[in-house]
Amino acid sequence: MRVSERGQITIPKRLRDRFGMRHNVEVEIVPAEGGLLIRKRSAADHPVERVYGVLKRAGGADELAGGTDDYLEELRGR
């Protein structure tokens, strides 16, 4: 494989098929020992999934008592 002038690479079809890299699948490139690692992003890697727990109350309740609107009003100090 070669890196194009625009920094693009083409993953061979046999590897895309083997690892389920279909059209529009998000990947990430991370430094690894001896080079770079290309891997599919999982749902847990999505930025929203990483901060999901922020919306839970400190008291351990998994849902907001009054709903999202009440929570936003509380945040705004109203």
Structural domains in the chain, sorted by start? 1-41 (2.10.260), 42-78 (no CATH)
pLDDT at 36: 92
Six-digit token pair at 16?
């895309």
Six-digit token pair at 22?
């279909």
Please list the pLDDT of the chain residue by residue as tens digits (78 residues): 889 999 999 999 999 899 888 888 888 889 999 999 998 877 666 666 666 666 555 555 545 566 778 777 878 876
pTM: 0.47
